[in-house]
Amino acid sequence: MKSQQQYPQKFSLEFFPPRTEPGMDKLKNVITELATLNPQYMSVTYGAGGTTQEKTLETVRYIQENTNNEAAPHLTCIGASEQSVTELLDTYEAMGIKRIVALRGDLPSGMMDPGEFKYASDLVKFIKDTRGDTFHLEVAAYPETHPQARNCDIGIKWFKNKVEQGADSAITQYFFNFDSYRYFIDNCERNGIDLPIIPGIMPITNYENLIRFSEGCGAEVPRWLKCRLESYEDDTESLKAFGKEVVQELSQKLLDAGAPGVHFYSMNSVEPTLDIVKNLTFKS
């Protein structure tokens, strides 16, 4: 964990752009409330294939104009061309955006053409080549190994390549097993990878959604956690209370071990993120 202990500890929040106007109105209230925590930045996801482009832009603009926080749009390769990325980067630069989360994305079902960028590393390289240091580039990292990587060494090899193309820091896929992060950092250190790798934290509020999400992205929900969550059945309040305790403890353990902060997948809800962050102790 030595490589990570040298960085200051920050926290950041992630939102996804809602499809409907009522959803957008609700999100704006959530953003306003969570902005009181003063995160380092608020990131906004981007639908692969540009499916949420307008809504991502609207949300990013809302954060920039209505809070004192930095907004960080996500950008994906899928369906993108050099021209479409250039146009979006021009817009972001004009808006004063300083940070971009650069990803590959996943091909939506029925879509065959990934576009001009095959991997996140291609996008990172393109942004660095054309914009220099205009944007701080965040990339994704996978302590439990990306589901399409044949093994963890291959996963690390391509992660290193992404870093060498110009990534400035990384946010991990969420995980519930502290050791997966510790061993991932250890593996990065042995492979000469040195940049802040911020654990992504998924709050637990709904059993079915968590299981569905986790199956899709290859994050493991450990058996003990699954069993306990299952046992609450319709008792949502007890499930949420237990979920909060688990996530609070994991987040604090990561910070105590020297992780350079935590990135919360807020799922567009104030709680439990607000309460968990308020109760975290960061290294001064």
Ligand X SMILES: Cc1cc2nc3c(=O)[nH]c(=O)nc-3n(C[C@H](O)[C@H](O)[C@H](O)COP(=O)(O)OP(=O)(O)OC[C@H]3O[C@@H](n4cnc5c(N)ncnc54)[C@H](O)[C@@H]3O)c2cc1C
CB of 257 to ligand X, least distance (A): 20
3-state helix, strand, coil in the chain (%, to 5): 50, 15, 35
Beta-strand runs (E) in 88-222: 99-103, 136-141, 169-174, 197-201
Question: Which two tokens mark 122?
Answer: 């291609």
Comparison of 161 and 240: residue with beta carbon closer to ligand X: 161
Which two structure tokens, joined as six digits, stand for 60?
């990013």
In DSSP terms, 263 is beta-bridged to: 12, 200
Least CB distance from residue 238 to ligand X, whole Å? Answer: 29
The letter for the amino acid at 144 is E
Classified as helix, coil or strand, 67 is coil
| CB-CB contact of 57 with 95 (8 Å) | no
Catalytic residues: 14
Q: How far is the CB of 34 from ligand X (least distance, A)?
A: 17
Specify the residue, 6 or 148, whose C-beta has the smaller distance to ligand X: 148
Give min distance, CB of 282 to ligand X, in A.
20
The whole-angstrom distance between residue 127's C-alpha and the CA centroid of its chain comes to 19
Q: Which of 284, 200, 203, 187 is nearest to 243 (CA)?
A: 203
Nearer to ligand X, 167 or 239 (CB): 167
Chain residues that interact with ligand X, rule: CB under 6 A? 45-46, 48, 74, 76, 101, 103-106, 119-121, 140, 146, 148-149, 155, 158, 162, 171, 173, 200, 217
Q: Residue 158 phi/psi, 5° resolution?
A: -75, -30
- Please provide the DSSP assignment of 187-233 as one string: HHHHTT--S-EEEEE-----HHHHHHHHHHHT----HHHHHHHHHTT
| Closer to ligand X by Cβ: residue 79 or 239 | 79
Smallest gap from residue 132 Cβ to ligand X (A): 21
